[in-house]
């Protein structure tokens, strides 16, 4: 970098303490447990700090990488250049207004579902086992077991390209399968509201427990991963296509396809980001050659990948 971003941000945020870190290994912040260092990592404590950091980066033409809780991302072995902003537990407040829950973008989806249950509100049970944060969940319309955030969302507050706070109503979100108005844009989600229905506490808890048991039985939760590796292609299931092509158990370096669920690429121990990319590429190429179906990655790729991502069709880099 042409300027000392860390020093400048340290002066701008004198109270940040360890929320501002230099050359920080991203393996500590991602569910894949891999990735090189971020030049400068900042965890803002609120909207104003977030706006100040983004304004600073814009003024000084510094590349910004926005992350949530690191659950749907593969960070390059080379790390992330410029400024990495993680909207995480420092921005994770959840408020209640009647049958509505209003959650900061950094609140975990599990915490949001748990809060709904505690208030005997139903409609978010499906989200109780989805890793990641509200912001990322809204951006990609996260879902599981026939439920998705679009079903409950009322509005979203976000920072637009001019760093101004705006509100977007549910019907303007352009929700699709793992996509929304925010997908691929530079807009930054800061808070969302969800409309829920009164329910019976014991029934809600029982449903969440049933879904958790189903996840434990079918998904490799004991291994680091980024969740489902590929989006579900129209008319098919990614995991079944991968399994039918004989790829269960395939590995490259420390990364591989789960024997438990072929839709998951896992860190078997000591995997590099390059290992993970190689598995993605092999799966995509094999499935396409054998079935004619092109699997599109659901996981996003962050950091300095040079030209490596050109070999993976349909990947989303941030």
- Listed residue (269, 262, 260) closest to 33, CA to CA: 269
Active-site residue among 21, 178, 191, 300? Answer: 178
Active-site residue 178, yes or no? Answer: yes
Catalytic residue among 71, 88, 192, 228: 228
Active-site residue set? 178, 228, 298
């Amino acid at each position: 970098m042409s300027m000392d971003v860390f020093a400048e941000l340290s002066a701008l945020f004198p109270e940040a303490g360890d929320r501002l870190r230099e050359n920080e290994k991203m393996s500590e912040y991602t569910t894949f447990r891999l990735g090189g260092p971020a030049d400068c990592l900042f965890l803002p404590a609120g909207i104003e700090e977030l706006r100040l950091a983004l304004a600073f980066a814009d003024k000084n033409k510094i590349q910004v990488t926005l992350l949530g809780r690191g659950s749907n991302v593969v960070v390059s072995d080379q790390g992330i250049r410029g400024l990495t902003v993680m909207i995480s537990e420092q921005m994770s407040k959840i408020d209640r207004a009647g049958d509505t829950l209003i959650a900061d973008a950094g609140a975990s989806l599990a915490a949001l579902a748990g809060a709904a249950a505690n208030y005997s509100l139903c409609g978010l049970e499906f989200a109780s086992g989805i890793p990641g944060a509200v912001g990322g969940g809204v951006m990609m319309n996260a879902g599981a077991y026939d439920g998705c955030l679009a079903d409950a969302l009322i509005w979203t507050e976000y920072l637009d390209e001019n760093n101004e706070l705006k509100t977007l109503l549910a019907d303007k979100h352009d929700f699709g399968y793992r996509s929304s108005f925010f997908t691929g844009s530079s807009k930054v989600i800061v808070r969302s509201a969800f409309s829920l229905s009164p329910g019976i506490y014991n029934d809600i808890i029982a449903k969440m427990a049933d879904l958790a048991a189903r996840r434990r039985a079918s998904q490799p939760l004991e291994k680091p991963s980024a969740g489902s590796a590929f989006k579900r292609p129209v008319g098919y299931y990614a995991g079944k296509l991968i399994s039918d092509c004989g790829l269960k158990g395939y590995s490259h370096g420390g990364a591989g396809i789960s024997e438990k669920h072929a839709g998951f690429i896992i860190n078997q121990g000591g995997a590099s980001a390059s290992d993970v990319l190689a598995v993605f590429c092999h799966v995509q190429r094999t499935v396409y050659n054998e079935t004619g179906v092109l699997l599109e990655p659901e996981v996003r790729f962050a950091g300095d990948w040079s030209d490596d991502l050109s070999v993976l069709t349909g990947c989303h880099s941030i």
